[in-house]
Amino acid sequence: MTGIRVTHVGGPTALLEIGGWRILTDPTFDPPGRRYAFGWGTSSRKLAGPAVAAEALGPIDAVLLTHDHHGDNLDDAGRALLPSAGTVLTTASGASRLGGNAQGVEPWSSTRLERPGLPTIEITATPCRHGPPLSGPIVGDVVGFALRWAGQRDGVLWISGDTVLYGGVREVADRLRVSVALLHLGGVRFPVTGPVRYTMTARRAVALCRLVRPRTVIPVHYEGWKHFQEPRRTIEREFTSAPADVRGSIRWLPIGTPTTLDV
Protein backbone atom coordinates (compact mmCIF):
# COMPACT_ATOMS: atom_id res chain seq x y z
CA MET A 1 0.00 0.00 0.00
CA THR A 2 1.50 3.32 -1.03
CA GLY A 3 -1.49 5.50 -1.97
CA ILE A 4 -3.35 7.58 0.59
CA ARG A 5 -6.07 10.18 0.31
CA VAL A 6 -5.77 13.63 1.87
CA THR A 7 -8.53 16.23 2.16
CA HIS A 8 -7.41 19.69 3.24
CA VAL A 9 -10.44 20.95 5.16
CA GLY A 10 -8.91 24.38 5.81
CA GLY A 11 -6.37 25.98 8.12
CA PRO A 12 -4.38 23.15 9.74
CA THR A 13 -7.20 20.63 9.41
CA ALA A 14 -6.78 17.65 7.10
CA LEU A 15 -8.42 14.24 6.81
CA LEU A 16 -5.93 11.46 6.11
CA GLU A 17 -7.33 8.19 4.76
CA ILE A 18 -4.69 5.48 5.01
CA GLY A 19 -5.50 1.83 4.28
CA GLY A 20 -8.91 2.06 5.91
CA TRP A 21 -7.84 4.37 8.75
CA ARG A 22 -9.44 7.82 8.95
CA ILE A 23 -7.20 10.26 10.79
CA LEU A 24 -7.95 13.95 11.38
CA THR A 25 -5.41 16.67 12.14
CA ASP A 26 -6.10 19.75 14.30
CA PRO A 27 -9.92 19.93 14.11
CA THR A 28 -11.19 23.46 13.34
CA PHE A 29 -14.83 23.59 12.27
CA ASP A 30 -16.26 26.82 13.69
CA PRO A 31 -17.87 29.26 11.23
CA PRO A 32 -15.95 32.45 10.36
CA GLY A 33 -16.32 35.83 12.05
CA ARG A 34 -15.43 35.22 15.67
CA ARG A 35 -12.34 36.63 17.39
CA TYR A 36 -10.28 34.22 19.48
CA ALA A 37 -7.90 35.13 22.29
CA PHE A 38 -4.52 33.37 22.29
CA GLY A 39 -3.19 34.79 25.56
CA TRP A 40 -0.73 37.54 26.54
CA GLY A 41 -2.74 40.19 24.66
CA THR A 42 -2.80 38.33 21.33
CA SER A 43 -5.94 37.51 19.38
CA SER A 44 -7.18 36.90 15.85
CA ARG A 45 -10.35 36.67 13.80
CA LYS A 46 -11.33 33.62 11.78
CA LEU A 47 -11.91 34.66 8.17
CA ALA A 48 -13.04 31.43 6.49
CA GLY A 49 -15.04 28.43 7.57
CA PRO A 50 -14.21 24.77 6.91
CA ALA A 51 -14.64 23.42 3.39
CA VAL A 52 -16.19 20.26 4.87
CA ALA A 53 -18.54 20.36 7.86
CA ALA A 54 -17.64 18.21 10.85
CA GLU A 55 -20.86 16.22 10.54
CA ALA A 56 -20.06 15.43 6.90
CA LEU A 57 -16.68 13.86 7.66
CA GLY A 58 -17.89 10.45 8.74
CA PRO A 59 -16.27 8.38 11.49
CA ILE A 60 -12.81 9.37 12.73
CA ASP A 61 -10.45 6.74 14.11
CA ALA A 62 -7.83 9.10 15.52
CA VAL A 63 -7.11 12.79 15.91
CA LEU A 64 -3.57 14.13 15.74
CA LEU A 65 -3.77 17.34 17.73
CA THR A 66 -0.60 19.43 17.66
CA HIS A 67 -1.88 21.52 20.57
CA ASP A 68 -5.19 22.18 22.27
CA HIS A 69 -4.86 25.73 23.60
CA HIS A 70 -5.13 27.89 20.44
CA GLY A 71 -8.41 28.32 18.59
CA ASP A 72 -6.80 28.13 15.14
CA ASN A 73 -5.78 24.52 15.90
CA LEU A 74 -8.70 23.41 18.06
CA ASP A 75 -11.89 25.44 18.15
CA ASP A 76 -15.22 24.76 19.85
CA ALA A 77 -16.68 22.60 17.07
CA GLY A 78 -13.41 20.69 16.82
CA ARG A 79 -13.37 20.13 20.56
CA ALA A 80 -16.92 18.76 20.40
CA LEU A 81 -15.74 16.18 17.86
CA LEU A 82 -12.96 14.73 20.03
CA PRO A 83 -15.02 12.35 22.22
CA SER A 84 -16.30 10.51 19.12
CA ALA A 85 -12.79 9.83 17.81
CA GLY A 86 -11.18 6.57 18.82
CA THR A 87 -7.93 8.14 20.01
CA VAL A 88 -6.63 11.69 20.42
CA LEU A 89 -2.85 12.06 20.40
CA THR A 90 -1.54 15.40 21.63
CA THR A 91 1.00 16.98 23.98
CA ALA A 92 1.26 15.62 27.51
CA SER A 93 0.03 18.93 28.92
CA GLY A 94 -2.85 18.98 26.43
CA ALA A 95 -3.91 15.45 27.34
CA SER A 96 -4.06 16.43 31.00
CA ARG A 97 -6.38 19.32 30.11
CA LEU A 98 -8.58 17.36 27.72
CA GLY A 99 -8.87 14.07 29.62
CA GLY A 100 -11.15 11.39 28.17
CA ASN A 101 -9.63 9.66 25.14
CA ALA A 102 -6.64 12.02 24.89
CA GLN A 103 -3.20 10.46 25.12
CA GLY A 104 -0.11 12.57 25.71
CA VAL A 105 3.07 12.05 23.72
CA GLU A 106 6.58 13.47 24.11
CA PRO A 107 8.96 14.33 21.25
CA TRP A 108 10.51 11.19 19.70
CA SER A 109 8.20 8.84 21.56
CA SER A 110 6.16 6.45 19.41
CA THR A 111 2.75 4.84 19.66
CA ARG A 112 0.75 2.60 17.33
CA LEU A 113 -2.68 2.50 15.81
CA GLU A 114 -3.64 -1.16 15.57
CA ARG A 115 -6.83 -2.89 14.48
CA PRO A 116 -7.49 -6.29 12.90
CA GLY A 117 -7.68 -6.05 9.12
CA LEU A 118 -5.99 -2.63 8.94
CA PRO A 119 -2.31 -1.77 8.55
CA THR A 120 -0.52 -0.89 11.76
CA ILE A 121 0.50 2.78 11.78
CA GLU A 122 3.41 3.83 13.96
CA ILE A 123 3.15 7.47 15.01
CA THR A 124 6.27 9.23 16.27
CA ALA A 125 5.99 12.62 17.95
CA THR A 126 8.39 15.26 16.61
CA PRO A 127 9.65 18.46 18.30
CA CYS A 128 8.08 21.90 17.84
CA ARG A 129 8.76 25.37 19.20
CA HIS A 130 5.84 27.71 18.69
CA GLY A 131 7.83 30.95 18.77
CA PRO A 132 11.23 32.47 19.55
CA PRO A 133 13.75 31.04 22.05
CA LEU A 134 12.49 30.85 25.64
CA SER A 135 8.88 31.36 24.51
CA GLY A 136 7.72 27.93 25.64
CA PRO A 137 6.23 28.97 28.99
CA ILE A 138 4.22 31.67 27.20
CA VAL A 139 3.05 29.93 24.03
CA GLY A 140 2.77 26.42 25.46
CA ASP A 141 3.70 22.96 24.22
CA VAL A 142 3.23 21.84 20.60
CA VAL A 143 4.06 18.57 18.89
CA GLY A 144 4.35 17.26 15.33
CA PHE A 145 3.73 13.74 14.06
CA ALA A 146 5.50 11.30 11.71
CA LEU A 147 3.43 8.37 10.41
CA ARG A 148 5.01 5.11 9.27
CA TRP A 149 3.30 1.96 7.96
CA ALA A 150 4.22 -1.08 5.86
CA GLY A 151 4.49 -0.47 2.13
CA GLN A 152 5.64 3.14 2.19
CA ARG A 153 7.86 3.78 -0.81
CA ASP A 154 9.91 6.84 0.07
CA GLY A 155 9.54 7.46 3.79
CA VAL A 156 7.19 8.77 6.45
CA LEU A 157 4.29 11.18 6.27
CA TRP A 158 5.28 14.12 8.49
CA ILE A 159 3.01 16.79 9.99
CA SER A 160 5.24 19.60 11.21
CA GLY A 161 2.86 21.23 13.69
CA ASP A 162 2.98 24.94 14.53
CA THR A 163 6.69 25.63 14.81
CA VAL A 164 9.49 27.89 13.77
CA LEU A 165 12.68 26.48 12.27
CA TYR A 166 15.05 25.59 15.11
CA GLY A 167 17.31 22.73 16.19
CA GLY A 168 14.51 20.42 17.27
CA VAL A 169 12.84 20.56 13.86
CA ARG A 170 16.19 20.14 12.11
CA GLU A 171 16.50 16.81 13.94
CA VAL A 172 13.82 15.45 11.62
CA ALA A 173 16.37 15.52 8.78
CA ASP A 174 18.76 13.43 10.88
CA ARG A 175 16.27 10.94 12.25
CA LEU A 176 13.63 10.45 9.56
CA ARG A 177 13.32 9.90 5.85
CA VAL A 178 10.32 12.01 4.81
CA SER A 179 8.18 11.32 1.75
CA VAL A 180 5.28 13.75 2.26
CA ALA A 181 5.40 16.76 4.57
CA LEU A 182 2.34 18.73 5.68
CA LEU A 183 4.00 21.99 6.70
CA HIS A 184 2.26 24.46 8.99
CA LEU A 185 3.18 27.82 7.51
CA GLY A 186 1.63 31.31 7.61
CA GLY A 187 4.48 33.21 9.27
CA VAL A 188 2.21 34.02 12.22
CA ARG A 189 2.81 37.27 14.08
CA PHE A 190 0.74 39.72 16.13
CA PRO A 191 0.85 43.54 16.36
CA VAL A 192 1.42 43.44 20.11
CA THR A 193 4.58 41.32 19.76
CA GLY A 194 6.09 43.12 16.77
CA PRO A 195 8.17 41.19 14.22
CA VAL A 196 8.41 37.98 16.26
CA ARG A 197 7.16 34.92 14.32
CA TYR A 198 5.23 32.03 15.86
CA THR A 199 5.09 29.68 12.87
CA MET A 200 7.38 29.03 9.96
CA THR A 201 7.84 31.59 7.23
CA ALA A 202 8.02 30.51 3.60
CA ARG A 203 11.71 31.33 3.49
CA ARG A 204 12.38 29.14 6.51
CA ALA A 205 10.23 26.41 4.98
CA VAL A 206 12.48 26.37 1.92
CA ALA A 207 15.53 26.09 4.19
CA LEU A 208 13.88 23.22 6.06
CA CYS A 209 13.02 21.40 2.82
CA ARG A 210 16.65 21.67 1.69
CA LEU A 211 17.53 19.69 4.81
CA VAL A 212 14.66 17.21 5.00
CA ARG A 213 14.24 16.67 1.22
CA PRO A 214 10.59 15.54 1.19
CA ARG A 215 9.32 14.36 -2.19
CA THR A 216 6.04 16.24 -1.70
CA VAL A 217 5.40 19.36 0.40
CA ILE A 218 1.79 20.26 1.20
CA PRO A 219 1.27 23.71 2.77
CA VAL A 220 -1.42 23.96 5.46
CA HIS A 221 -2.14 26.56 8.15
CA TYR A 222 -1.63 29.51 5.77
CA GLU A 223 -5.19 30.71 5.07
CA GLY A 224 -8.45 31.48 6.86
CA TRP A 225 -7.15 33.60 9.77
CA LYS A 226 -6.18 37.23 10.14
CA HIS A 227 -2.93 36.47 11.97
CA PHE A 228 -1.60 34.31 9.13
CA GLN A 229 0.78 36.83 7.56
CA GLU A 230 2.08 34.85 4.56
CA PRO A 231 -0.65 33.72 2.13
CA ARG A 232 -0.26 31.35 -0.79
CA ARG A 233 1.28 33.94 -3.13
CA THR A 234 4.11 34.60 -0.68
CA ILE A 235 4.82 30.91 -0.24
CA GLU A 236 4.74 30.37 -4.02
CA ARG A 237 7.21 33.20 -4.54
CA GLU A 238 9.74 31.71 -2.14
CA PHE A 239 9.46 28.21 -3.56
CA THR A 240 9.75 29.53 -7.13
CA SER A 241 13.23 30.83 -6.35
CA ALA A 242 14.28 27.68 -4.45
CA PRO A 243 16.57 24.95 -5.84
CA ALA A 244 14.89 22.78 -8.46
CA ASP A 245 14.24 19.75 -6.25
CA VAL A 246 12.63 21.91 -3.54
CA ARG A 247 10.74 24.02 -6.10
CA GLY A 248 9.27 20.89 -7.66
CA SER A 249 8.17 19.36 -4.37
CA ILE A 250 5.40 21.80 -3.45
CA ARG A 251 1.84 20.66 -4.08
CA TRP A 252 -1.25 22.72 -3.34
CA LEU A 253 -4.29 20.67 -2.43
CA PRO A 254 -7.66 22.04 -3.51
CA ILE A 255 -9.39 22.82 -0.23
CA GLY A 256 -12.27 20.46 0.42
CA THR A 257 -11.43 18.01 -2.37
CA PRO A 258 -9.97 14.56 -1.59
CA THR A 259 -6.59 14.10 -3.32
CA THR A 260 -4.73 10.82 -3.73
CA LEU A 261 -0.99 10.86 -3.02
CA ASP A 262 1.79 8.27 -3.27
CA VAL A 263 3.78 7.86 -0.09
Whole-number pLDDT of residue 1: 55
Q: What is the pLDDT of residues 190-247, one digit of tens each?
A: 988 889 999 999 999 999 999 999 999 999 999 999 999 999 999 999 999 999 999 9
Going by C-alpha positions, the residue among 109, 123, 110, 111 that lies closest to residue 18 is 123
Cβ–Cβ under 8 Å, residues 23 and 65: no
Kindly indicate the confidence band of residue 148, based on its pLDDT and cuts at 50, 70 and 90. very high
Output the pTM of the full model.
0.97
* Whole-number Cα distances in Å, 77 to 81, 84, 219: 7, 12, 23
Cβ–Cβ under 8 Å, residues 262 and 16: no
Which residue ranges form the domains of the chain, and what is each CATH number? 3-262 (3.60.15.10)
Residue type, 236: E
